[in-house]
Structure 1
Amino acid sequence: MDIRQLEAFVYTAKYQSFSLAAQKLYLSQPTVSSHICNLEKELHTQLLQRTTKALSMTPAGRRLYSYAAEILDLRHKAILELTSQQEATLHIGVSSVPSLHLLPELLAAYHAQAPEVRFRTSCSDSLDVIRRVSEGGCDIGLADTKTAAPGCGFLPVTSDELVLAAPNTPHFREYQQQKEPLRALLREPFLLREDNSGTKQETLYFLRNMGLSLDELNVIAVMDDAASLIRCITLGMGVSILSRATVQNDAQSGRLLLFPLGQSAFLRRLYIVYPSARRMSEQTRRFLDFMKEYYQTGQRQA
């Protein structure tokens, strides 16, 4: 039994797919199958039940999975703690809203306290941030949604209001005179965030509450970059539902008009995404403790 065999087994069981496990491990599918076959031979028991339609763990497989997952977690933690370069660098995954709204001030505050720490940040959608923390690709994350991701915890840190943003033109300024302009605004050309965006998920929730579906909107673009989407709105392409924090400066400078959604349900939460205790390095633990104190003391408000 070796680490490669355990990785192949855990990833295959986790994703219920040999091909997905191979993709995540950067191996060929036959190699993954071979690792699991050799592991079953060594243990003299079947670990995975294979059929043409499904893949599941046997009772023996479920018992091994808990041990194997813990071994891999401990291995990951040992690498982080014993490799000086990684120990000195925090890998932070962040979605677009926290990237603009939380991250710069947070990093500046932590740098003032721990100037020896180096940071490496990567921006993607919320679900990708959560996935990377879950799989060990990032030490910690900031996201605008939460899921039931294995091995992850979520700590709400601040609130974020969603608004409908529109170009500041005479046509859209007329909507400001209406008592309830939202339904009419939603008939305008609409720019939408990508599928894995937390903002996209909240937009769909808002539409359901309005008794509308996405098919009823005139969606002219789906964009994965929030800054580009905002720029398109300022140029008059259409409207979108976005975080107030990301568009406030454009509104104050007169480039955008903001229309509140009018429901407290759209004061959503932003979250710290952190790995389970057994996978967390001491460096990550110190940063997490700092963030907890930072937001509890009210140094940063939404």
Structure 2
Amino acid sequence: MDFNQLKSYIAVVESKSFTKAAEENFCSQSTVSSHIAKLEEELKVKLLVRTTKNINITKRGEEIYRHACDILRLQEMMLQGVAKDGKSTLYIGATSTPTTYILPELFSRYSNINPDIVFDVLKNNSMNIIQGVEDGMFDIGIVAEQRESEQLEYTYFCPDRMLLVMPRKEHYKKIWENNDLVDGIQSPMIARNTSSEGNIDIKSMYEQMGIEHYDFNVVTRVNDQESIKRMVKKGYGVAIMSCWSLSKVEREHDFYVLSFPEALSIRSFYLVRRKNIRRNPNIQLFGGFMKLEIAKMREEIING
């Protein structure tokens, strides 16, 4: 159970309409229906009876409605208490690379100009984040894919580029000096789990370079980029990693790094937000700040 489910339920009860409830909560009618269905499933009780003309609340539904109102009043009191301390919370959903390598630096920089913001971040895949933004769980999402929705708007955030990262050992030094991507890729590979996302099709990229799938030499799969980086540094194998994951110092002293052809290895990150909502001005301020600072950060990563 979450607050959005309760808000949807209260809005339906008070407006006697799923359409009006959706408009009030700035979400789709299907989202409201999903919230009600999940609430009924979790509580194991029928809350509403829908006919072609009316929406009727059950006896147990009336009781749940009163409890839901009490819960949201308590939530509002808690938020007001936080506001009295001068703090405001932004809820952000982001995929793995932005969560690990981009947001920490952005938060640090933003706190210097606005220390009264609390960030609540959840790492997930793009589709789940997009759904979370649509449902009101997140104020802002940072994703690597897009899904069309009348409720959402996307803006370009920043590029990402895949790199072949190799241990700082003599064997890999020769591959690096010869810029031999094919030989490098056929080395023992530490790969992301198949559940890890990215809108670059690695298999397709290999095939365009003339490497068939049976040439892969995967020795480990793991869904954590820092773990992968440590394994590469220990000499366990090579890995394909985001350009955001390596500092200039690491590129020059800890690893040998080769770049894939740009046309094959570039992907984009996007900011996703809901349309037509009464936005907290902090959302707009931080969104604008991110887009201004990201170019500086990328330049610093490349040039140190």
Equivalent residues in 2 for 1:80-95, closer than 5 Å: 83-84=79-80, 85=82, 88-95=88-95
Quickly say closer, same or farther: Cα 1:194–1:132, change in 2 above 3 A: farther
Q: Deviations over 1:114-163 (max 9, x none)?
A: 222222223334444333323322211223x1221533322223222211
TM-score by length of 1: 0.68
Alignment of 1:129-278 (within 5 A): 129-143=129-143, 145-148=144-147, 150=149, 151-179=151-179, 181-199=180-198, 201-212=200-211, 214=213, 216-249=215-248, 251-252=250-251, 254-278=253-277
RMSD: 4.0
Deviation at 1:273, TM superposition (A): 2.5
CA positional deviation for 1:99:
2.8
The residue aligned with 2:6 is: none
The 3-state SS of whatever aligns with 2:50 is helix
Render the CA deviation track for 1:248-292: whole Å, top value 9, x for unaligned: 356336322111112344233232222223274343233223334
Alpha-carbon displacement from aligned partner over 1:48-95 (angstroms, at most 9, x marks no partner): xxxxxxxxxxxxxxxxxxxxxxxxxxxx9xx99x94448811112222
Could you say which residue in structure 2 is the equivalent of 1:108?
A: 108
The aligned counterpart of 1:99 is: 99
Indicate how the Cα distance of structure 1 residues 11 and 188 shifts in structure 2: closer, same or farther if over 3 A, else same: farther
Change (3 A) 1:193 1:162: same
1:25 corresponds to: 38
Aligned-partner SS, 2:186: coil
SS at match of 1:28: helix
Residues 294 and 40 of structure 1, relative CA distance in 2, 3 Å threshold: farther
C-alpha deviation, 1:29, in angstroms: 8.0
Q: Aligned match of 2:298 in 269, 285, 301?
A: 301
Question: Match for 2:156: what amino acid?
Answer: P
Aligned residue for 1:121?
A: 121
Q: Secondary structure at the match of 1:154?
A: strand
Kindly state the Cα deviation for residue 206 of structure 1 after the two structures are TM-superposed: 1.9
- 5+ residue gaps in structure 2? 1-8, 56-71, 300-304
Provide the secondary structure at the position in 2 that maps to 1:254.
helix
Cα contact 2:182–2:211 (8 A) shared by 1: no
| CA shift for structure 1 position 198 | 4.1
Q: Identity over aligned residues, as a percent?
A: 19
1:243 to partner: Cα distance = 0.9
Q: How far, CA to CA, are the matches of 1:4 and 1:213 in structure 2?
A: 55
Relative to structure 1, is the Cα distance of residues 187 and 300 closer, same or farther in structure 2, using a 3 angstrom cutoff?
Answer: closer
1:187 offset after TM fit, Å?
Answer: 1.9
Note the residue ranges of structure 1 that are not aligned, 5 or more in a row. Answer: 45-75
For these two proteins, the number of residue pairs brought into alignment is 258
Contact 1:94–1:141 under 8 Å retained in 2 = yes
